[in-house]
Amino acid sequence: MEQNKLLFSFYNKLWSIVSLLLFLFFFSESAFSQVSAKYLVVFKDKNNSPYSISQPFAYLSERSVARRQKQKIAFTTGDLPVNPSYIEEVKKKGAKVIYTSRWMNAALIECSSTVLTSILQLSFVKGLEINTSIDNPNNRTARKSSKFENYETEALNYGLSKTQIEMIGADKMHEQGFHGEGMMIAVLDAGFNNANNIAALKPLFDENRIVGTYDFVKKEKAVYEDDGHGTSVLSCMGAYLDGQIVGTAYKASFLLLRSEDAASEYLIEEANWLFAAEYADSVGVDLINSSLGYSTFDDASTSHKYADLNGKTTIAAKAATWAASVGIVCVISAGNEGNDAWRYISTPADADSIITVGAVTALKTYASFSSIGPSADGRVKPDLVAMGQSPAIVSPSGTVSTSNGTSFSSPILCGLVAGFWQANPTLTAMEVIDRLRKSGSQYENPDERLGYGIPDFTRANTPTVVLSTQDESNSLFKAYPNPTSGEITIQLNENKVNQYFTSLMDITGKTLLYQPINSQTFKLSLAHLNTGTYFLRIGNESKSTLVKVLKME
């Protein structure tokens, strides 16, 4: 009997232990499923939206609409906001919606894994673009040094911006009265510490030329208490302190946007870049300067490979290309990895239809830290270069000093772009980029270090234009009239026409048309294209001929 009591007591205790373990297991599983994380959820469509491309003022500013109309850029479904009914359904499932993206048709949400599972089952949800459950800010460890670490900082005296300005002809631009007046530049960066209290930037605030601020990391308007990298970047364009430093576009207006968390590097910062660029578009900016780049992340499993840098794969590159498509000139730092194992440009510097900026010394030679090209798909990168080794900048303390990095060559050049566009207001964004590339010091022989070289305002402002002949002929085909205001006739000088194809490209190399040829004489309509230069190619597997085509009004 006593033995039975002992056995009963033993099994009782054993069951209590097992029950406790089972409780802890299921409780921990349940608790884990309730931990919130951030996810970028992509939707399938914008069907049944209350918004319309025929009523753009419902979701874009007057300035944003005017920029598109001026460049004859059509409104598309990509301009439409995410369907509000989709957002409401996501909220009903228990998620917090942080930001939405028109261009990606997506929403950044915060929820538990259980809620996410139910959201992914909604009929209008396409899937996940980012899973940040492993990017929890609470698990982040601070970097050993800032990703924007300066190579040198030294107190300097009068006129230190002289070399960087004269190198690209910005002094001539200023002499002609173009200082950026009327141009609006969005600066996407890591913060603008103390920018509102610095003497060199005081005119921007006194003249109400800071048109807005927003922090996409903290979801607040305040940007002046965070990292100071953006302050120095802004100074390269907007500073004016007589006798000490003058920015390249010191009379422009600026939109200050924080998209970068300087203490860490996670994929979500590319999503922040997307949201910031869309916001800049909706406000109506003319240009975006971004001295940010992404290649490796604190979570190595999400790091990019060189093959990803084709302008089409990363979130940041897609966002920059979308910005370019709505008529914004994006000026983006190539990166400071020239001396590192990576070596190559980072993203979004790989994007198409933008200006990627490398760095040179005061002697106009390659700065060894400047990231090199080409892009993974073979395009020339960087596009252009400016002084990035020891240019004059303003530190967050207000001191005029020097520093190194493509972080500064980019805004120096961005200010030139703003002034040049001010001087040539009828040009489209792509025409501005084309003119500046052609003004490069090595336009005829670009390379992977300097791209098309150092641009020059005077060369860009007085281009040598060589028009094609009215009846341009070659051994393979004839294309006429050229220039054309609408339609061009192509006459193939070969009999076996079904072996040939025709393609049409813009000045960036982007293919606008590709089709087989089924007739010896046929017509192509260019009526829907903007005024400018295009390239027509006719060929087969063994030979092809390229002809420049001018589209006129």
Confidence of residue 470 (pLDDT cuts 50, 70, 90): very low
3-state secondary structure of 2: helix
Residue 242: name the closest of 208, 203, 206, 187 by CA.
203
- Number of Cα atoms under 13 Å in the Cβ half of residue 387: 27
DSSP string, 257-293: EE---TT---THHHHHHHHHHHHHHHHT-SEEEE---
Q: Answer for the pair 186, 288: CB distance below 8 angstroms, yes or no.
A: yes
Give pLDDT, residue 504.
84
Domains in the chain: boundaries = 12-139, 162-461, 472-551
C-alpha–C-alpha distance, residues 80 and 101, integer Å: 9
Spell 36-57 as b/e; 16+ CB within 10 A means b.
Answer: bbbbbbebeebeebebeeeebe
Give pLDDT, residue 349.
98
Q: Which residue has the tokens 């490209």?
A: 505
- Number of Cα atoms under 13 Å in the Cβ half of residue 334: 40
Q: Which one is catalytic: 112, 135, 179, 229?
A: 229
* 374 cis-preceded (ω within 30 degrees of 0): yes
3-state secondary structure of 166: helix
Residue 382: name the closest of 399, 348, 358 by CA.
358
Other CB atoms within a 10 A radius of the CB of residue 229 amount to: 27
Give phi and psi for 325, each to the nearest 5.
-70, -20
Torsion sign across C-alpha atoms 275, 180, 73, 550: negative
The answer, yes or no, to whether residue 178 has pLDDT greater than 60, is: yes
Diameter of the chain by CA atoms? 115
The answer, yes or no, to whether residue 258 has pLDDT greater than 80, is: yes
Give pLDDT, residue 330.
98
Q: Answer for the pair 451, 384: CB distance below 8 angstroms, yes or no.
A: yes
Q: Which region among 16-20, 210-214, 269-273, 315-319 has the lowest average model confidence (pLDDT)?
A: 16-20
The domains spanning 162-461 and 472-551 adopt the same CATH topology: no
Q: In degrees, to the nearest 5, what angle opens at C-alpha 216 toward C-alphas 354 and 212?
A: 75
C-alpha–C-alpha distance, residues 213 and 253, integer Å: 12
C-alpha–C-alpha distance, residues 82 and 92, integer Å: 16
472-551: what CATH class? mainly beta
Q: Which residues contact 363 (CB under 8 A, 6 or more apart)?
A: none
C-alpha–C-alpha distance, residues 382 and 374, integer Å: 7
Tokens of 93: 């499932």
Q: What percent of the chain clears pLDDT 70, i.e. is strictly above it?
A: 85
Distances from the Cα of 208 to the Cα of 139, 202, 224, 251, 415, angstroms: 40, 10, 16, 11, 18
C-alpha–C-alpha distance, residues 415 and 424, integer Å: 14
pLDDT digits (tens, 9 = 90+) for 30-75: 444 467 899 999 999 999 999 999 999 999 999 999 999 999 999 9
Q: Answer for the pair 347, 308: CB distance below 8 angstroms, yes or no.
A: yes
Give pLDDT, residue 289.
98
Confidence of residue 510 (pLDDT cuts 50, 70, 90): low
162-461 fold:
Rossmann fold (3.40.50)
Q: Answer for the pair 537, 544: CB distance below 8 angstroms, yes or no.
A: yes
Q: What percent of the chain clears pLDDT 90, i.e. is strictly above it?
A: 69
The answer, yes or no, to whether residue 473 has pLDDT greater than 80, is: no
Q: Which one is catalytic: 282, 370, 407, 410?
A: 407
* 348 cis-preceded (ω within 30 degrees of 0): yes
pLDDT digits (tens, 9 = 90+) for 273-314: 999 999 999 999 999 999 999 999 999 999 999 999 999 999
Q: Which one is catalytic: 79, 112, 161, 189?
A: 189
Tokens of 256: 């200050």
Give pLDDT, residue 486.
84
407 catalytic, yes or no?
A: yes
Q: Which region among 88-97, 144-153, 233-242 has the lowest average model confidence (pLDDT)?
A: 144-153
